[in-house]
Structure 1
Amino acid sequence: MRARLRQIHIDGHTYTWRAALHRVQIDGFHHRAVYVRAWGGGGKNGQKLEADLLSAPGPYIVDSGYPTPVDVRAVIICGLKSGWQPEQRGGTFVLYDREHGASFAASGFQLTNPVHPGESADPTIHEAQQRG
């Protein structure tokens, strides 16, 4: 099934976005995880914004909820404040917990580092894997 592209308007600019739900397990608890991608007025030719979100705070059972426009607005605003340039051609700007988590504000979600299949979303495990 193809992901549905949606639009959101922020400060006179139109952004296109999509999100995919998945789940991750941390310390035996399932968390709802959302894989969010957004593009500016340049469409898919412009610089892409990527963010991975986990349900927060604490453990939740994965539900079938979809991120609200308020959640996506928080991702886009954090990206813009952090240096995302949607009008730039090509490339990807990724929001990471360590670098951008303090400036991310969305109730019900926390920013996490990208989670790939087979990896843990637990930041301490993720950092230990990166250090070797």
Structure 2
Amino acid sequence: MVILSVVLLAFSFIETLNIILLYKMPGSRMGNAVGVFKAYEKTRQDPEIRQFVDYLINWVAGTKLIFVVLLIGIVITGPAETKVFSVIALIFSISTFFTQLYPKLKKMDKEEGIDPAGYSRTLAKMIAGFIAIFAIALAVYFVTK
């Protein structure tokens, strides 16, 4: 069960860093901040669009915060079954990146709307890495149970 807690806490830590970036430095080019999108700077020119984009960025950060707090609560108080289900849920939900976000990101990358070029591939590899780590943690948990 320790392996599941470790990966859940590691993911929570990384997401906490992303939340801080989204709230405090949304234009950054690190983590999940949106500075890699060339269109982000264009949104700064129109006050109405700027407010809307800022709202959406904060909404994403708030949603991430909900998940982080829930994961921490699960790690602290949850039984093994809940942790197993949480890891499976993360694998499933994170996998939706490849059907919902990656095609759009890849298109923006191809159209030079993202800097640095190739960011879509880098992000896809990172997300696939998270999924692999979660799957390995599940396998280790079940083998050592």
Q: TM-score range by the shorter chain?
A: under 0.3
Compute the TM-score of the two structures, normalised by the length of structure 1: 0.26
Compute the TM-score of the two structures, normalised by the length of structure 2: 0.24
Which structure has more helix as a fraction of its residues?
Answer: 2
Which structure has more strand as a fraction of its residues?
Answer: 1
Q: Comparing both chains, which one has the higher relative contact order based on Cα–Cα distances under 8 Å and sequence gaps of 6 or more?
A: 2
